[in-house]
Structure 1
Amino acid sequence: MISLLLSGFIGMFNETALNVALSDLINLFHISAATAQWLTTGYLLTLGILVPISGLLLQWFSTRQLFMASLIFSVLGTLVAALAPGFEMLMTARVIQAAGIALMLPLMFNTVLIIIPAEKRGGAYGLIGLVLVVAPAIAPTISGLLIDKLSWNWIFWLSLPILVIALLFGMRSMQNVSTITKPKIDIFSLVISTLGFGGIVFAFSSAGEGGWGTTKVVISMIVGILALIIFVGRQLRMKQPMMDLRAFKHPMFTVGTLMIFITMMVMLSAMLVLPMYLIRGLGLSAFTAGLVMLPGGIINAIMLPIMGRVFDKFGPKWVVPSGLIIITVVLWFLSGISTATALALIIVLHSCLMIGISMVWMPSQANGLNQLPPELYPHGSAIMNTLQQLAGAIGTAVAVSIMTAGMNSFMKDVADKADPANGPLALIAGIQNAFIFAIIVAIVGLFFAFFIKRVHVGKQE
């Protein structure tokens, strides 16, 4: 578990670590903002394509084989990124890195389901939460410091030795725990899965940077949706599906997956717009903005294992709805931020948001996966991880689109459009709208949260 958690942590750290370096890379490589955005979009797109087939890989290859492949991809990608002299090589490195984490995430979940008894899984998922939630939350702070004092390459030089340690540790201690069944590989399912999940992630990611009406967004969205409909129909008819969607016949798995989807949308959209508010709205440096968001990341790190133990003892029935109430109230306060809002209030609100997320994420995940029979463990892990990537792409893209529309609307109504003071005000108006969108998503989640019930092994309340 130490090997899995270390490598997973660095993988998720790398997902957002480069965000604060994008402005430096635009100047350094002489590229546009839209091109630079592909360093994040390409990472998400690779995850969106590879994670859906992870359920199949878990049944074809041993735990050790998948772990070693994941770490080799991660180490190679990180080394290439650290040495990259230009955009093309850095882009290639990001795809290699994403291939590593796409194997690691489902492997981590599947290993917990196999080796840890159901009544103790809450604590284990609390530790996995440290990887999935805390790593992306603290990445901007660490990256901001490295860029301030050294250079962007050091984001990867810092990651590399940790990945090498995880690889050496895993080579020594990793055991084969999964059952290899080698189901028949359906090439058509692989192709339409790639077109479906890849198309939708690509469409939402591209919409965030160029708007919803562009040809590439419309075409990739249509292709993605049609391919996904065909994929779902085919999986339901197959005896040995690539991704067994019969997991959704288990109601608590369905509710848990929906809770994670909504939480991921809210968290990643907030993590995108809050730094923009701090840097472009209030004029703080990247490092200072990272420091403002650091307490929330630390509180989340403390809360997730605690929530794991609370779940093991009491179940999710009251924890999850309470968490969503906290999230909704915090988002309501955040929708009223302005240039006069005190930094101390932003720190408190961000910290409370992270507490709410920890109360929803881990109990929903553990409870949902606990209801699945062992033969559906690989598929359940793959489904949850795939939908997390979709939620991340959708949440950030919609938030950026709503924010941009709000900025444009504000600028239409101002008398002096050339006044530089109106830029930050327009941005904040757009960010307020983005938080209103997040409130609506959280309220939908709160409604479904009241249907969650504790799952016991062999019976359900």
Structure 2
Amino acid sequence: MNISSEAGGSADLSGIKRGPIVAALVIGAFVAILNETLLNIAFPDLMKEFGVLPATIQWLSTAYMLVIGVLVPVTALLQQWFTTRQMFLTAMILFLVGTVICGTAPIFSMLLVGRVVQAIGTGLMLPVMMNTILVIFPPEKRGGAMGMIGLVIMFGPAIGPTLAGLIIDQLDWRWLFYLVTPLALFSVIFAAAYLKNVSDITKPKVDILSILLSSIGFGGIVYGFSKAGEGSWSAPEVVWTIVVGGIAVVLFVIRQMLMKEPILNLRAFKYPMFTLVTIMMLVLMMTLFSTMILLPLFLQTALMMTAFKAGLTLMPGGVINGIMAPISGKLFDKFGPRVLVIPGLILVMLAVWLFTGITVSTTAGYVVTLHIILLIGISLVMMPAQTTGLNELPRHLYPHGTAILNTLQQVAGAIGTALFISIMSSGTKKYMETAANPNPAEGLVAGLHDAFLIGFWIGLIALVLSFFIKRVKAPAEDAGHVPVKEQHS
């Protein structure tokens, strides 16, 4: 990438139109996140086609999370070396190339390579997207902008499983990639035409040791917990990767605190509201994963739904969540975070508590209702909380703040998935060993009850933290935020 032509200190934001920039970001995010949720439902077909076992096919998800977990911490450094256009266009071109590789893969290893290339694109894009919103919008208007991004982030997963089920029923798994390819190509063309550079190029020193420690640390933790979710927590592979990953993260943190120009500036945690929000989001993401991972299992195994029908059952909640995201963003701009985050977490806790009472005779309508309550609560919490935390940071810490949040959410996702799958498996095993007339469906439900109950108690931590959240003033360096032209489509 040629950085001399566009790089050179602070970007000039005068005269930049927000509308096309936001549109370019939204299109790219939608394509990437939609594709992330399309593939899981195709796993049975892929296992048949390539003749691989569940433990092998799971790598299509594990590798995706692993690459993002390794890459995202480094994006704070990359965003200070390369312009917004270079970062975003590189991300979307990589995603496009990965999609083509996946769609034409003759063997499983080629499909896995394609997924890794896609993940590199996604890992580069998500922090750039959040950082760009922070730069081009003043603090009092960021809620609405983040809400638009939230709509896309939630709408992709909402329609992904249903769309994938329909495509697989009618066509072939390769069409999951064929249909995404023109969308990705359009995103590249649109961004090339309309996306402007808004980042500040400072070209800090590249510390190779920090990058290695970050990659080993976060990669090891994500990998270890992902493998724990597939099998045993006591397996040597799981224990050693988590231990080595944990040690590397500790060394990484120590090194960043001692460096004058760290690749991930952990001094962002000196800002109390950012720290509070980061901890709250970690806990909330774990609780969210307790439902997102377990509900499809309940629908397909206990209620005996097809993948397509299970996707349809979960679709209304996701669609309403997407609709609510921009609304909660506008409400955040007007009223601040407390009036949204506290009621939102109460709704989340209510839904998770009611999920502890589901049985094999629970109706689909009841599940739909609880899922809608859960995701309305999530929409009131996610973007308002993140925006509150990031608003407190000075501009030079935006890339670091977004990278920290995205990295820790990946780690929370991996931990949450492993934790709740293992709790469910343990509860199911205990039921099957002690029940007089064991029934596999009843055993699964017994395990789900245990998992949802733990999810509820973990979620209470987030609820307690929410009472301390409050609107923050922008730092002095944001007070003179350069006005950016509005453009309404």
TM tier, shorter chain?
over 0.9
CA shift for structure 1 position 175? 0.8
Deviations 1:300-336 (A, max 9, x none): 0110000000100000113111111111111010011
Residue of structure 2 aligned with 1:121, choices 132, 142, 167:
142
Q: Residue type of the partner of 2:210?
A: S
Q: More displaced, 54-63 or 17-26?
A: 17-26
SS in 2 for 1:223: helix
**1:5-404 to 2 correspondences below 5 Å:** 5-404=26-425
Deviations 1:340-372 (A, max 9, x none): 111111001000100000111011011111000
Contact 2:393–2:475 under 8 Å retained in 1: no
TM (norm. structure 1) is 0.97
CA separation in 1, counterparts of 2:299 and 2:278?
32
Q: Residue type of the partner of 2:441?
A: P
In the alignment, which residue of structure 1 is the partner of 2:473? 456
TM (norm. structure 2) is 0.91
CA separation in 2, counterparts of 1:131 and 1:218?
37
CA separation in 2, counterparts of 1:365 and 1:95?
27
CA separation in 2, counterparts of 1:432 and 1:31?
32
Report sequence identity in percent.
49
CA separation in 2, counterparts of 1:177 and 1:161?
27
Contact 2:356–2:449 under 8 Å retained in 1: yes
Residue of structure 1 aligned with 2:456, choices 439, 445, 451:
439
SS in 1 for 2:179: helix
In the alignment, which residue of structure 1 is the partner of 2:7? none
Contact 1:129–1:362 under 8 Å retained in 2: yes
Deviations 1:411-452 (A, max 9, x none): 1013455xxxx1111111111211112101210100111110
Q: Residues 237, 64 of structure 1: CA spacing in aligned structure 2 closer, same or farther, 3 A cutoff?
A: same
Structure 1 runs not aligned, ≥5 long: none
CA shift for structure 1 position 169? 0.4
CA separation in 2, counterparts of 1:117 and 1:318?
21
CA separation in 1, counterparts of 2:233 and 2:37?
23
Structure 2 runs not aligned, ≥5 long: 1-21, 477-489
CA separation in 2, counterparts of 1:458 and 1:392?
31
Deviations 1:190-213 (A, max 9, x none): 000001000000011000001201
Q: CA RMSD in A?
A: 1.2
CA separation in 2, counterparts of 1:134 and 1:260?
20
In the alignment, which residue of structure 1 is the partner of 2:442? 425
SS in 2 for 1:43: helix
Residue 405 (structure 1) aligned with residue 405 (structure 2)? no
Q: Residues 85, 269 of structure 1: CA spacing in aligned structure 2 closer, same or farther, 3 A cutoff?
A: farther
CA shift for structure 1 position 92? 0.6
Q: Residue type of the partner of 1:455?
A: V
CA shift for structure 1 position 458? 4.1
CA separation in 1, counterparts of 2:372 and 2:96?
33
CA shift for structure 1 position 134? 2.8
CA shift for structure 1 position 96? 0.3
What is the aligned length? 455
Q: Residue type of the partner of 1:272?
A: I
CA shift for structure 1 position 148? 1.3
Q: Residue type of the partner of 2:107?
A: G
CA separation in 2, counterparts of 1:259 and 1:351?
21
Q: Residue type of the partner of 1:41?
A: T
CA shift for structure 1 position 19? 1.2
CA shift for structure 1 position 22? 1.1
CA separation in 1, counterparts of 2:335 and 2:172?
47
CA separation in 1, counterparts of 2:291 and 2:216?
28
CA separation in 2, counterparts of 1:91 and 1:433?
34
